[in-house]
Structure 1
Amino acid sequence: MGALDFLSGLVPEWPFGAPVKPSDDGLEPTSAAAAPPPSSEILPPDVVSRTATADDLKFHAAASRQVPGIGEPVDPSIIDAVDLSGRLHGHHNHLLVASPYVDEDHLLDLDTLSRPNQLLAKALTVMNARTREYAVEPYVEAFNWGEIADALRKLARRESYMYPRSEFYIIVFRSRLPSDADREHLGQLDKDAHLEAVQSGQLLKYWFGTPHPDTGRNLATCIWRHRDDAKKGGSGPGHVRAMEAVRSIYLEWRVERLKFVVEENASSWSIEKWID
């Protein structure tokens, strides 16, 4: 169940939504059948949705299976499946698993993004909490930002692309739920709001954890191209209902607005406070 995110301000907004030794180009297929598609493509979302649990997606970066060479290798038996075998070459896969929701309507359409945003969205599939205390750790220490930057550099280098200096809008929602909260209901509200955010466009990643069984503390976060996109994505009725639940159910909630700054050629990165 995802934590219900809340953006402060008068305008309703929803914050979104065994290693293989690499070869010289960063890829080493395990078999001919498992050969990856061209570098500009990704594997079908089925390689994630068929095998990954919600916990795999939240805590083990299972979405990275879609992007060859930057995360978990794909089990060849999955790719050998009849309904996948003809879809790896000569077909442009453009739907990316960018949240713990794997229904097709919740997938990110890479064709709607500019090239820098496409590459970052792919790199963000490796996003993972670095510690069990992610809900209370400083944000920059809670996630594997160094690995994300490494993946971004690898993807840009693979496409011979000079990545431009870029800034991305981050929302962090820290919360505490009562032990008797109806988490199934809250989860449905979260899913509805994420769908609205996806449909608005430019939501590159949505990550949420699981409320601690004793303290109820949790963290959810989303990465957008820009704050204006977050405003647009948080204006629907699903977000309004979710905000009402935040106010009436959560024991505590706190929002942080940050930015992820990537320097030219992804040579370095930083997490800074967002200032309008």
Structure 2
Amino acid sequence: MAKVLSPTLAHATPVDVVKSAFSVAEIEFSNSPQSKTQNKTSVSKTPNVASTDDSIDLNATHLISSPYPDFENQLRLDHLDVPNQLLAFALTALKPIRDDYATAPYLESFNWPEVFALLRSLSKRVGYEWKKQDFYVVIFRSKLQANIDRDRLGLLDQMSHQEACASGGLLKYWFGSPDEERQNLATCLWRNHGDAVAGGGGPWHKQARAAARVMYDRITFHTHKLIIEDGAETWQLEAFSSK
């Protein structure tokens, strides 16, 4: 049986700087030729070391789950069931482990073993037995044009993220910093595909899609299904199919 998480409010801190980033809109275009990457199934296994973080407040109703900490950009946990809450908490530990994440394989770019070790630890804390479940992942890769309006790009991104948060189900949004060739990586992890579709239909997303063609030399997105097996000991990343 899952323990019911009683609600208390997690307060946000002000945003000092709006970082330039990607829109969470689903876009695919290129101003220069680019070869398609093949979709492959990737499987990883966590080590037998449990990561714990007693500072995580499992009673919170809101969670800072993106680079934007203000309240409108926070994830509402009280709208999620227990496994989605637990994964959202575990994803707060997500961080890159190599400098070339903009072009490196996705599963090799982040500390996934630590994330899933934390998921197991948090599940144990609330008495939840993790059962196999899948989630929807979008991976954005891009190359910025030179001398763009980064303030405008940052505003479009933050407001698009607010729209996604308002629709619900966006468990994690992460973006990095452009490399020397202005290439970057961003990623969204959603509860399911339907949430992603609902979250990308607002007016700020429309503006972001229109601006993308004048702000990027190249931007592509790839969609995947993240399958977390029983016990959160292993996981798979598969190409997503809506069929």
TM-score by length of 1: 0.69
User: Relative to 1, partners in 2 of residues 1:26 and 1:188: Cα closer, same or farther, differing over 3 Å?
Assistant: closer
One of 56, 67, 86 as aligned partner of 1:119:
86
Aligned to 2:23: 4
Structure 1 residue 234 corresponds to structure 2 residue 221: no
Matches within 5 A, 1:1-276: 1-8=20-27, 26=52, 42=57, 92-212=59-179, 214-276=180-242
Which whole-Å CA distance do the structure 1 matches of 2:60 and 2:86 have between them?
A: 14
User: Relative to 1, partners in 2 of residues 1:113 and 1:183: Cα closer, same or farther, differing over 3 Å?
Assistant: same
For structure 2, list consecutive stretches of 5 or more residues without a partner in the other structure. 1-19, 29-49
Deviations, residues 4-56 of structure 1 (Å, cap 9, x unaligned): 344148xxxxxxxxxxxxxx99567xxxxxxx5xxxx71xxxxxxxxxxxxxx
Secondary structure in 2 aligned to 1:129? coil
Which whole-Å CA distance do the structure 1 matches of 2:182 and 2:139 have between them?
A: 17
User: Relative to 1, partners in 2 of residues 1:159 and 1:216: Cα closer, same or farther, differing over 3 Å?
Assistant: same
User: Relative to 1, partners in 2 of residues 1:27 and 1:260: Cα closer, same or farther, differing over 3 Å?
Assistant: closer
Secondary structure in 1 aligned to 2:145? coil
Deviates further, 244-253 or 165-174:
244-253
Which whole-Å CA distance do the structure 1 matches of 2:182 and 2:161 have between them?
A: 22
Cα displacement (A) at 1:178: 1.6
For structure 1, list consecutive stretches of 5 or more residues without a partner in the other structure. 10-23, 29-35, 43-66, 68-91
Conserved in 2, the CA contact under 8 Å of 1:5 and 1:243?
no
Structure 1: 4+ residue segments shifted above 3 A: 24-28
User: Relative to 1, partners in 2 of residues 1:185 and 1:269: Cα closer, same or farther, differing over 3 Å?
Assistant: same
CA RMSD of aligned residues (A): 1.9
Structure 2 counterpart of 1:106, one-letter code = N
Cα displacement (A) at 1:139: 0.9
TM-score by length of 2: 0.78
Which whole-Å CA distance do the structure 1 matches of 2:156 and 2:186 have between them?
A: 14
Secondary structure in 2 aligned to 1:211? coil
Which whole-Å CA distance do the structure 2 matches of 1:8 and 1:113 have between them?
A: 27
Structure 2 counterpart of 1:195, one-letter code = Q
Which whole-Å CA distance do the structure 1 matches of 2:210 and 2:139 have between them?
A: 18
Conserved in 1, the CA contact under 8 Å of 2:25 and 2:200?
no
Structure 1 counterpart of 2:213, one-letter code = R
Aligned length: 202
Which whole-Å CA distance do the structure 2 matches of 1:150 and 1:254 have between them?
A: 31
Structure holding more strand per residue: 2
Cα displacement (A) at 1:248: 2.4
Cα displacement (A) at 1:153: 0.4
Which whole-Å CA distance do the structure 2 matches of 1:219 and 1:178 have between them?
A: 15
Conserved in 2, the CA contact under 8 Å of 1:6 and 1:255?
no
Conserved in 1, the CA contact under 8 Å of 2:135 and 2:192?
yes
Which whole-Å CA distance do the structure 1 matches of 2:206 and 2:79 have between them?
A: 26
Secondary structure in 2 aligned to 1:275? coil
User: Relative to 1, partners in 2 of residues 1:254 and 1:25: Cα closer, same or farther, differing over 3 Å?
Assistant: closer
Conserved in 2, the CA contact under 8 Å of 1:172 and 1:257?
yes
Structure 2 counterpart of 1:3, one-letter code = F
Aligned to 1:70: none
Deviations, residues 187-213 of structure 1 (Å, cap 9, x unaligned): 00000100000000010000011112x
Which whole-Å CA distance do the structure 1 matches of 2:125 and 2:173 have between them?
A: 25
Structure 1 counterpart of 2:150, one-letter code = R
Structure holding more helix per residue: 1
Conserved in 2, the CA contact under 8 Å of 1:177 and 1:216?
yes
